[in-house]
Structure 1
Amino acid sequence: MITTISNSRLTASIKHAGAELFSIKDNQNKEYIWEGNPDFWGKHSPVLFPIVGTLKNNTYTINGKEYQLPRHGFARDMEFELTEKTENKAIFSLQSSDETLKKYPFAFELQLIYTLNENALEIAYNVINKSDEKMPFSIGAHPAIALPENFENYAFEFEKEEILKYYLLENDLISNQTKILETKNNLVPLNYELFKNDALIFKALESNSLTILESSKPYIKVDFEDFPSLGIWTKENAPFVCIEPWLGYSDTLENSGDLYKKEGILILDENKTFTSKFSITIL
């Protein structure tokens, strides 16, 4: 099933499967989200929950008991329920179940709230701990922005001038090796060589937003003030780039496996709600 919301400027469409955004079009019918061609990558904008990235051996422990979770968790592969819909807003819900409890032993509700406001789409996450113990979790976004021109015609402009230190992956885990993303006049010109070692992983940034320039003109802006970490990723010759606001990231090589002690993890008290949001603005 698909739900569509709209205003005078934009139309956004969301699949109930994974509550996944798969289209943002302007009133000229121009598409801004990657089409999901499986020759490159068959997704559009999956939600990452209850982990972001990869666990060591895809395994973790809670109170000494071992569990397994796939990369980026399970929410992106599950059917969400549409619980509220207006012309420019839609709320989707995923509740814990016998199936999820086998992988993640906590009662929870995950809500995704999509709201169109003028030329921006806001995506909010509510994580509700319905269990009787503290709940460790991560959550993140993975929107793929369509780049219709040649990849080299695009550049990143971070909100603030800063040293852009990113971590390299080793077998999908965060290594201790870092590099600096070079800027030119505060811009990062795009080329596929940047991604030869997979995603660029920023554990912490001063910038709260990133603007993609197309042929030196502002194209799309992603605001992520609530998210301290960021991933940026594409595949060789793919006409998209993913700007991924994260709360959490893959295990480090030294990780113990205890989810409560995982670097970057969030701990939510019993019967509490955690809220975060980011936005995609068409420029």
Structure 2
Amino acid sequence: MAEPIRIGNDRLSAAIDPLGAELSHLWDADGRELMTDADPAFWTGRAPILFPIVGRANGDVLRIDGADYSMPKHGFARRSLFEVVTAEEARAVFALVDSDATRAAYPFAFRLEVTFRIEGATLLTEVAIENRGCGAMPAQFGFHPAFAWPLPYGRDRAAHRILFEADEPGDLRAITPEGFIAPEDRPTPLDGRVLRLRDALFDDDALVWDPVRSQRLRYGAPDGPQLDIAFPATPRLGIWTKPGARFVCVEPWHGIADPAGYAGDFRDKPGVFEIAPGDAKRVSMSVTLVP
């Protein structure tokens, strides 16, 4: 097992596991944990990288150009060992390149590079998905970080809420028990721009904004330290936990699970982008601890 890579400064520090290039810890200046406790009674994930799909494919199969490929939920990157390209005091870079194993599930030549950088009280994560093949490469990508709920500042769990940057009119996507996008929507639980967190919100899986207008959220109790979470140019957002768990996931997505019953080509699925040969798609998110 590869050792986690630690980065940080006098205001924030982090540990990243080369398995999945997964952010496993985020600590404030006093060493208080801002991420999930990963209690196995609920979910052992911490912040998996979702690539080359987000959510589930129907039958766990991708249909690409007339061939079928087995693909697990959220893709294979989260279970893949990344190369540690750079490990500096406040910056680390990880890379995953296609192999025989990845091409058996996803027949494309790619390089997935994930950079973690701490500046002041901000952790910035930057991703570059490079197409090294000769044809257009379809893909999806998502972040899935799980933050402590409650945050470690003595405020009650019930006091925590998420404040959206913009108005988010309209209903949300609903998810079937099997994990697919349902044909019907679900009513929004927002009170203005505020999502008041409570377990019952997640009885039927994640809350899914498709599209999301906001590119920034504020999470925490309003009278205590909070997290400012930014995700520029991201079209969709999921918020999820398991009732009773001590985390809440804020998940900016460039993709979405299959609609229930979808049987078309992966290239034509809602939420798929294509990268031209020799080009790269770049996505990012940042987390800032606000006093």
Question: TM-score normalized by structure 2?
Answer: 0.94
Change (3 A) 1:51 1:137: same
Matches of residues 152-167 of structure 1 in structure 2 within 5 Å? 152-163=158-169, 165-167=171-173
Q: Percent identity?
A: 33
* Residues 229, 287 of structure 2: 8 Å contact kept: yes
Is the deviation greater in 73-82 or in 157-166? 157-166
Cα RMSD, aligned residues only: 1.4
* Residues 162, 195 of structure 2: 8 Å contact kept: yes
1:250 Cα offset (Å): 0.2
Counterpart pick for 1:78 among 65, 77, 80: 80
2:125 corresponds to? 123
* Residues 46, 145 of structure 2: 8 Å contact kept: yes
The alignment partner of 1:44 has SS state of: coil
2:41 corresponds to? 39
1:221 Cα offset (Å): 1.6
Cα distance in 2, alignment partners of residues 20 and 150 from structure 1: 28
Aligned residues: 283
Q: Which amino acid aligns with 1:208?
A: Q
Counterpart pick for 2:267 among 237, 248, 260: 260
1:198 corresponds to? 205
Is the deviation greater in 181-190 or in 87-96? 181-190
Change (3 A) 1:44 1:271: same
* Residues 168, 200 of structure 1: 8 Å contact kept: yes
* Residues 174, 251 of structure 1: 8 Å contact kept: yes
The alignment partner of 2:50 has SS state of: coil
Matches of residues 138-153 of structure 1 in structure 2 within 5 Å? 138-148=140-150, 150-153=156-159
1:275 corresponds to? 282
* Residues 164, 182 of structure 1: 8 Å contact kept: no
* Residues 37, 246 of structure 2: 8 Å contact kept: no
Cα distance in 2, alignment partners of residues 58 and 174 from structure 1: 14
The alignment partner of 2:49 has SS state of: coil
Q: Which amino acid aligns with 2:280?
A: T
Is the deviation greater in 105-114 or in 183-192? 183-192
Cα distance in 2, alignment partners of residues 234 and 151 from structure 1: 13
1:123 Cα offset (Å): 0.6
Is the deviation greater in 191-200 or in 146-155? 146-155
Change (3 A) 1:164 1:279: farther
1:187 corresponds to? 194
